[in-house]
Chain A
Amino acid sequence: MSGRVLVGVKRVIDYAVKIRVKPDNSGVVTDGVKHSMNPFCEIAVEEAVKLKEKKLIKEVVAVSCGPQQSQETIRTALAMGADRGIHVEVSGKDYETLGPLQVSKILAALAKKEDAQLIILGKQAIDDDCNQTGQMTAALLDWPQGTFASEVSMDGAQVKVVREIDGGLETIKINTPAVLTADLRLNTPRYATLPNIMKAKKKKIANVKPADLGVDLTSRLEVLRVDEPPQRQAGMKVETVEDLVEKLRDTGMV
């Protein structure tokens, strides 16, 4: 086993920013808006670095697909402890239509190229909330998947994953190579330390084009319109329980 882990990190609008829709309803305003690493990707990086510290894996490679600015996100991953980075350059129109299908094709190609033992991703991105990339990547590679992981432990060539599911917690054992997606309670990402930020400067980020990986970026989806959620309507006050039941029947809720 190569002992190499690929971690996908996505550059998204910072979680603290209030999103605004563009006046032409074509999308969300991203120019001049603060961006940072997707919080679930931070958790994924932390898990990979933890596995390396426990000496269960040998190398952590941070991957990001996007324009030039994605390199900042990779640098953050390097500052947290990743060993090197791969920046898959996607910009302009291609970047606007980049979705889980395209990213999973890229990750699958990279996983084969880098001979990865594990791919760890965040369970979903906070901008599109797709929750598809991990699952699609596993399918394309025909690898087992441990999604919504809240606990990960390695047992030889197998991985034990405790998954957060609707009914509670499910524990599965899967063979490597595998794809894992990180859920919120998997760990608490560390702060990058000042020395690590400086060391990160020296770590390498390789530049790759999707064409080099033989990936076709055409999207099968077209975004027609983006709207804000409807304004919250005022509620109604009723006097008695009978009135309440009547109102519920009237509005068809019961």
Chain B
Amino acid sequence: MAALGPLSRTARLGCNLCRKHRLVFNRNLQRRGIASCIDPSYGLSEEQKEFQKVAFDFAANEMAPHMAEWDQKEIFPVETMRKAAQLGFGGIYVQPEVGGSGLSRLDTSIIFEALSTGCVSTTAYISIHNMCAWMIDTFGNNEQRERFCPDLCSMEKFASYCLTEPGSGSDAASLLTSARLKGDHYILNGSKAFISGGGDTDVYVVMCRTGGKGPKGISCLVVEKGTPGLSFGKKEKKVGWNSQPTRAVIFEDCAVPVTNRLGAEGQGFNIAMKGLNGGRINIASCSLGAAHASVLLARDHLLVRKQFGETLANNQFLQFKLAEMATKLVASRLLVREAATALQQSRADAVSLCSMAKLFVTDECFNICNQALQMHGGYGYLKDYAVQQFVRDIRVHQILEGRCIFSFLCSRSQFDLSAYVFNLLPQEPTR
């Protein structure tokens, strides 16, 4: 009898979602357009609800109708992203005096979660662009901030983050791209792999080696497209994230002025990791949006598809499954928002929370989207249905921005090796 307790709770939740009671009551297919228990506006301030509303409206009107086309034709939607930038989405957590919106990490998470329901791939790129703009805003001097940030915030220019190399992914601190000082320029040699936006973007934030081995020898340089010696590999063919081009970025005796260095020599790795803390929240937020959209798609399908004489919504197993998906979605959302709050307040647990959030949320949300696809049956496998694109697009969120390292990071902090928590690890997470 005791076992029925949790089951009946799940059943009630499932019923709530499927409106089973209401279906019996009304005897027709009336349903809410917006499922209330996974409503992402709970707990938000009035202002945050406004931001979220704008982002949802933009996603529904400007992105969702084109999501499939951008994926199939591999279009980098420059005009749409510039429209988003006009609303302030180009530099959400960049300071207003250089053109940003000056919002908090939590505001940012809410916005990306909403935008992601329109197109995950494009939103993920926008988040990478935001991360780069923030790095320049935070670690650049005033001259650099004024030179780069306004154009980035308006998306007049686009940015890419260059850390990963063919030989260094998880082991990012072992990167090899060298930057030899010659007069008032650094001469760069080496290559970066898997760079989002590579070849189509204008500003590259590059982590390169100016000093000795390990993280302390790494500096951060801003390289502009068109600099002699900067070239790009072929456009990669990917399973998802097709609305953003991915290419290798190649440096051959590429001369970059010393005035393009962000922060001090040897500070580059620290800058990269700090950028990634926020980047992880952003990527996790994108996963949340995809999972939210997928739960709604699955719910709608269950209400329509009939087998064995009734709609799938009356099937108890599917009700339970949907309820589980909703629960995990809300749990993930809470973790991401807490991580965002911690980062904003520079709390001691911020870094580990960001890592945990990214690890947990990207996994759970992928499972949610995958389940949603399964619930569609054969239809879920067709490109006519959006759910498969959500699955393909968020699969990579479980890979990039670091993964297995998190168990390492968290287990180390559990043993109270606090120095390691502050990004001075020899092995570090990666883009």
Chain A: CB-nearest residue to B57: A191
Shortest Cβ gap from B285 to chain A (Å): 16
Does B213 belong to the interface (CB within 8 Å)? no
Q: Give Cα distance in the complex from A36 to B53, angstroms.
A: 10
Known contacts: A17-B34, A72-B46, A75-B46. The answer to whether A195 contacts B101 by CB under 8 A is yes
Are A23's CB and B33's CB within 8 A?
no
Chain B residue contacts of A19, Cβ below 8 A: 30
Interface residues of B in 26-78 (CB under 8 A from A): 26, 28, 30-34, 36, 39, 46-47, 49-51, 53-54, 57-58
Chain B: CB-nearest residue to A197: B50
Interface residues of A in 1-45 (CB under 8 A from B): 14, 16-20, 23, 32-34, 36
Are A75's CB and B50's CB within 8 A?
yes
Q: Give Cα distance in the complex from A201 to B53, angstroms.
A: 16
Does B87 belong to the interface (CB within 8 Å)? yes
Chain A: CB-nearest residue to B29: A18
Are B50's CB and A79's CB within 8 A?
yes
Are A18's CB and B32's CB within 8 A?
yes
Interface residues of A in 185-209 (CB under 8 A from B): 191-195, 197-198, 200-201
Does B86 belong to the interface (CB within 8 Å)? yes
Q: Give Cα distance in the complex from A191 to B86, angstroms.
A: 10
Are B26's CB and A34's CB within 8 A?
no
Known contacts: A75-B46, A76-B50, A79-B50. The answer to whether A194 contacts B88 by CB under 8 A is yes
Chain B residue contacts of A23, Cβ below 8 A: 25
Chain B residue contacts of A194, Cβ below 8 A: 51, 54, 87-89, 92, 101, 103
Does A233 belong to the interface (CB within 8 Å)? no
Interface residues of B in 169-218 (CB under 8 A from A): none
Known contacts: A72-B46, A75-B46. The answer to whether A191 contacts B31 by CB under 8 A is no
Shortest Cβ gap from B108 to chain A (Å): 10
Shortest Cβ gap from A34 to chain B (Å): 5
Does A129 belong to the interface (CB within 8 Å)? no
Chain A residue contacts of B26, Cβ below 8 A: 20, 228
Chain B residue contacts of A201, Cβ below 8 A: 47
Known contacts: A194-B87, A194-B88, A194-B89. The answer to whether A20 contacts B22 by CB under 8 A is yes
Shortest Cβ gap from A115 to chain B (Å): 30
Shortest Cβ gap from B137 to chain A (Å): 16
Does A240 belong to the interface (CB within 8 Å)? no
Does B377 belong to the interface (CB within 8 Å)? no
Are B33's CB and A16's CB within 8 A?
yes
Does A251 belong to the interface (CB within 8 Å)? no
Q: Give Cα distance in the complex from A221 to B193, angstroms.
A: 71
Where chain B touches its partner, the secondary structure class is: helix
Chain A residue contacts of B87, Cβ below 8 A: 191-194
Chain A: CB-nearest residue to B89: A194
Chain A: CB-nearest residue to B41: A34
Shortest Cβ gap from B403 to chain A (Å): 32
Q: Give Cα distance in the complex from A245 to B50, angstroms.
A: 56
Q: Give Cα distance in the complex from A209 to B58, angstroms.
A: 36
Are B22's CB and A197's CB within 8 A?
no
Q: Give Cα distance in the complex from A231 to B58, angstroms.
A: 35
- CB-CB contacts of A164-202 with B at 8 A, as 1s and 0s? 000000000000000000000000000111110110110
Known contacts: A17-B33, A18-B30, A18-B33. The answer to whether A193 contacts B86 by CB under 8 A is yes
Q: In which size bucket is the chain A interface? A: 20 to 34
Chain A residue contacts of B88, Cβ below 8 A: 193-195
Chain B: CB-nearest residue to A195: B88
Known contacts: A32-B36, A75-B50. The answer to whether A195 contacts B96 by CB under 8 A is yes
Chain B residue contacts of A14, Cβ below 8 A: 33-34
Are A18's CB and B92's CB within 8 A?
no
Chain B residue contacts of A75, Cβ below 8 A: 46, 50
Chain A residue contacts of B50, Cβ below 8 A: 75-76, 79, 192, 197, 200
Q: Give Cα distance in the complex from A52 to B102, angstroms.
A: 27
Chain A residue contacts of B31, Cβ below 8 A: 18
Chain B residue contacts of A192, Cβ below 8 A: 50, 54, 87
Chain A: CB-nearest residue to B102: A198
Q: Give Cα distance in the complex from A75 to B28, angstroms.
A: 37
- CB-CB contacts of B100-138 with A at 8 A, as 1s and 0s? 011100000000000000000000000000000000000
Interface residues of A in 209-251 (CB under 8 A from B): 228, 231
Shortest Cβ gap from B317 to chain A (Å): 25
- CB-CB contacts of B339-367 with A at 8 A, as 1s and 0s? 00000000000000000000000000000
Known contacts: A20-B30, A23-B25, A197-B51. The answer to whether A191 contacts B58 by CB under 8 A is yes
Chain A residue contacts of B58, Cβ below 8 A: 191
Shortest Cβ gap from A33 to chain B (Å): 8
Are A34's CB and B34's CB within 8 A?
yes
Chain A residue contacts of B92, Cβ below 8 A: 194
Chain A residue contacts of B49, Cβ below 8 A: 72
Shortest Cβ gap from B61 to chain A (Å): 8
Q: Give Cα distance in the complex from A79 to B57, angstroms.
A: 14
Chain B residue contacts of A200, Cβ below 8 A: 50
Known contacts: A79-B50, A194-B87. The answer to whether A16 contacts B28 by CB under 8 A is no
Shortest Cβ gap from B247 to chain A (Å): 31
Chain B: CB-nearest residue to A231: B28
Chain A residue contacts of B101, Cβ below 8 A: 194-195, 198
Q: Give Cα distance in the complex from A195 to B26, angstroms.
A: 44
- CB-CB contacts of A113-127 with B at 8 A, as 1s and 0s? 000000000000000
Q: Give Cα distance in the complex from A63 to B31, angstroms.
A: 32
- CB-CB contacts of B259-294 with A at 8 A, as 1s and 0s? 000000000000000000000000000000000000
User: A-B pairs with the 7 shortest C-beta distances?
Assistant: A194-B88, A16-B33, A194-B101, A17-B33, A197-B50, A193-B87, A193-B88
Task: Please list 10 pairs of residues, one from A and one from B, whose beta carbons are closer than 8 Å in the complex, sorted by A's number.
Answer: A14-B33, A16-B34, A17-B33, A72-B49, A75-B46, A79-B50, A193-B86, A194-B89, A200-B50, A231-B28
Which residues of B come within 8 Å of A, CB atoms? Answer: 22, 25-26, 28, 30-34, 36, 39, 46-47, 49-51, 53-54, 57-58, 86-89, 92, 96, 101-103
